[in-house]
Structure 1
């Protein structure tokens, strides 16, 4: 994300692209914005729709000129579906807590950004926060349904019902790291030699000794490697990355407590070493997000959800400035992938738009979602802002953003269908020609190795209480341990005991039960 950031979130977190059409149901199809927008537009023409206002919650860093984007968006949307969109952008660090308050109070809103591991989609479905969408999708968004591969719809289906529209984006979970080109070149670092996180230690030491103005390694609660990149540790999440109960990729059948694995112990021991040597910010354990550091070019190395890296683009005849340049065009990076792409349920459900169960305008909200997934102009207005003010076009499908324009969210992965997106500074040069870049990641999504549990969705309902208790235990101790801020020899046993007391074993047993039933049904 954000980081797809958070990478992802990840971010948690920097991706961008254009449009593509195919005849296959598994492949995305982008509808020309000049043509009718499917059932939503037909409905608008056939009936005199009453004007409505739609409230749309989503996270990002604060934007000074959000209002002009909202105004431009509504000039496009209102004539099509007679709706006005109110953009409720909440800072990443406050978003989850804000949405808990909104949902807990039963506040009427319409659209909301959610994900498998942030503003937890599956838990919110279990809590009844989101409306079932199957009939609304079939009636008002058939083009959206056709443009997103079936495997993505399966990833957001709970007990046979769809409760959110997945964003079709770069979702194959390849992982690695990003390093500033100037740092790698200046110190002649063999950045291609890395095969695991611990290989980065000498690079981080070089930065610490010689670059006092740089942070050697980025860490925040939104960019935690163990949560963001389970395959990096040979694991696959079931339900969400935080809740106890993962699978080993090499096994795929036995649900285990990922926090009790030797992989987790090895990871937190390494992070303790990195923290005590000054490779992370002192406040890493409490840091919610790092967009300011990224924009300022302060991070020498960062975790990367890297489906396509620097070497991949070189082989395809494209020159890539690297993912760091998505946040600061003057900071280029080498992006190195050392965990091969894998399509998992949590990544297919990594970014979703849901409609509130309390929305008074569910039909119109779905009409808007259809536009956001099929209308290139509407999509890019929300993603990039107003042409001439927030960005300028430099080619048919490529833009340059304006750092001083007041709207730079760098989040094409957060909305609609990312095949509609313009390419920006962080995308490889030449990638816009013949949709070369788009075709690379679409093919990767289609052909990536599926996980052992792709399509399995954990129903939290039987263990809602235990889930809440486990979340509290994680919030209390996990980030201090995972960031290396405290000694794992002392605090890891305490953490594991708190998880057990909170009901971790019951959650794991329920996951095993549901997984076994799912496997029996899908033989």
Structure 2
């Protein structure tokens, strides 16, 4: 079976997956897996093309905060894997909580297998460099205004060769960008933004996100970052590889969401420790909201000739720690060594920029019941917020709602492409809201925004009625 994932093929991928396939055979699973890596910047285009032409593959990675599985379902691109999960998914059902698995259902049928790798209530925080705060005699910012003034001082005093800009791939979706850090400071919180376009609060009110006061406030914050030279000047054309390279270089100060490692920090500050990245929440006393029940998963395309094999492979991964370790960490003794029950030590490969020759992906296939941590290099604050359940967290009332755009398909496609052109530059702060927004909104309305929002509101009301 062929499994499509975004990213770059690890140096020793073939060697590791030969072992994976040997173990699958030895365990009598009857599945052979080939992973096909597609570069990040080509992922959406290539995957959409392969789905629309019915190309031959059997499993692909889904990022709910980028293109939710419901979007593929609505195009008729997904296989119903309910029976396969019943027959072959015992470990998937055992190690993925039911309320999370329910988020992968449409009309009572499973169309994806969630990766239970992260606590979704981690949405709304950012990482800050404590070593850089100390270097500049600064304290941790407690408000967006303090964050900007602190960042300005850091930029002015920066000793590295590359400025610690805000770097990210441009978008207008606060869940994708993690600009949701700002939302905790608004009186209207808790609310979330679903499917890029729809503001939903816990009372069940649905509005057009780009027309809200909250969108305007976000854009104003981003404009200040941009005009003060804090945002990377190339923000609208940045690729994921550039964003990753900045983190890896250690030349960064703030990361929306989580990121970073000790190896990267030490490139800038040889004295850095794993405690030099801290997690910050504005208004930590407020509720912690899960915008989605799961962030990543895997789905089977409707044209797959091996849907059951795809489910068998995912299930086999969770059948033992040994299977999981092989897929995620590679060959013991060559790519890593175990470090206690839950730890591992990556083995550096001088022929691979001193990175291990192989590493799987937590977001693609991770499960908190099996994950290991690099106890020397990983960041304790990040591990806590990402991988420990938050008992205070609540699900957004829209977390498991799935929008079906069939009735507004043309308009929905049109507003997606129009928003990328007209709304993203405003939300990223490159264009000034007051000057650019009226014309952009006019274009969005012409593309069919009002009709899509009305359809979303109607379906959401119907969905809520089914829960009563």
Task: Give me the TM-score of the superposition, normalised by structure 2.
Answer: 0.86
Q: 1:222 to 1:121 in 2, by over 3 A?
A: farther
Which shifted more, 369-378 or 164-173? 369-378
Match 1:336 to one of 273, 280, 291: 280
| Partners of 1:393 and 1:400 within 8 A in 2 | yes
1:198 paired with 2:145, answer: yes
CA deviation vs aligned residue, 1:93-145 (integer Å, no higher than 9, x gap): 22111211111211010110012232331110111111111111001112211
1:73 paired with 2:20, answer: yes
1:428 paired with 2:380, answer: yes
Q: Which runs of 5+ in 1 are unaligned?
A: 1-53, 306-322, 432-436
SS, match of residue 233 in structure 2 = coil
Match 1:491 to one of 398, 419, 436: 436
Measure the CA separation in 1 of the matches of 2:157 and 2:149. 12
SS, match of residue 426 in structure 2 = helix
C-alpha displacement of 1:71: 2.2
Measure the CA separation in 2 of the matches of 1:396 and 1:86. 30
Q: Which residue of 1 aligns with 2:232?
A: 281
| Partners of 2:292 and 2:395 within 8 A in 1 | no
CA deviation vs aligned residue, 1:227-254 (integer Å, no higher than 9, x gap): 33447423645652x2x222134xx322
Measure the CA separation in 1 of the matches of 2:145 and 2:173. 12
Match 1:108 to one of 56, 70, 82: 56
1:374 paired with 2:319, answer: yes
Measure the CA separation in 1 of the matches of 2:406 and 2:249. 43
Q: 1:134 to 1:418 in 2, by over 3 A?
A: same
SS, match of residue 56 in structure 1 = strand
1:412 paired with 2:362, answer: yes
| Partners of 2:119 and 2:389 within 8 A in 1 | no
Q: Which residue of 2 aligns with 1:295?
A: 248
C-alpha displacement of 1:365: 1.1
Q: 1:61 to 1:347 in 2, by over 3 A?
A: farther
Task: Give me the TM-score of the superposition, normalised by structure 1.
Answer: 0.77
Match 1:227 to one of 175, 199, 209: 175
Q: Which runs of 4+ in 1 moved over 6 A?
A: 222-225
Q: Which runs of 5+ in 2 are unaligned?
A: 184-188, 267-271, 349-353
Measure the CA separation in 2 of the matches of 1:224 and 1:187. 32
SS, match of residue 423 in structure 2 = helix
Which shifted more, 296-305 or 391-400? 391-400
CA deviation vs aligned residue, 1:455-510 (integer Å, no higher than 9, x gap): 32222322222221111012213332222222322222222222211211111111
C-alpha displacement of 1:182: 1.9
C-alpha displacement of 1:341: 6.1
Q: 1:202 to 1:61 in 2, by over 3 A?
A: farther
| Partners of 1:166 and 1:348 within 8 A in 2 | no
Q: 1:327 to 1:78 in 2, by over 3 A?
A: farther
